[in-house]
Amino acid sequence: MSDCKCNRRAFIKGAGAALGVTAAVGAGFATYAMKKTWDPLPSVVAAGVTEVDVSGMKDGQLAQVEFRGKPVFVLKKTADMQKNDKRDIVIGDARFTVVIAICTHLGCIPAYNDGEKKFLCACHGGVFDENGVNTFGPPPTPMQIPAFRIDGQKIVLGEEGPEYKKMTALA
């Protein structure tokens, strides 16, 4: 009988350890996934302006930077993503979606789903396409594009360049 208790105790201990390992591995994957989704870009913040160097970005890569205390998504679009002349920031042959990463419903931060190429807001199921345009659920408007200026391979957030002025005239 006492052997039986020991075995049960050993089994429970083992199962607990296995669960701990699974949880640790799961947390590791979650951290990796988050890091992979939100790779920081080289950026310089000064006097309300954030300079974002996009020269090293790969097609399909999403990065997050901070602009005036708010998160901003920078997505380098792939060739198969739909062009949006009213919202794309174009640098050479590359097109970028740059939006303030705040859901226009009640202010949650959406997450980018790489497979679906959509921004999904977990709070109430809002969906934005790869251009940051609301396509489903309660968000009433697209995610906001911050004022920007293009300086070579840098996007300068917080300054109104001619490309931004043209974009706002089209909107």
CB 44 within 8 A of CB 50: yes
Piece of 2-10, 76-84, 100-108, 145-153 that binds ligand FES (CB under 6 A): 100-108
Distance, CA of 153 to CA of 101 (rounded, Å): 22
Q: Is 127 in the site for ligand FES (CB under 6 A)?
A: no
Among 106, 113, 152, 166, which residue interacts with ligand FES (rule: CB under 6 A)? 106
Applying CB under 6 A, among 45, 108, 120, 147 the residue interacting with ligand FES is 108
Contact segment (CB under 6 A) with ligand FES among 47-55, 106-114, 148-156, 157-165 equals 106-114
Residue 120 engages ligand FES in binding (rule: CB under 6 A): no
Q: State the residue for tokens 């591995």.
A: 25
Size of the residue set binding ligand FES (CB under 6 A): 12
CA-to-CA distance for 153 and 156, rounded, in angstroms? 10
Q: Would the CA dihedral through 67, 39, 95, 155 be positive or negative?
A: positive
- Choice between 43 and 104, CB closer to ligand FES: 104
CA atoms within 13 Å, Cβ hemisphere of 66? 6
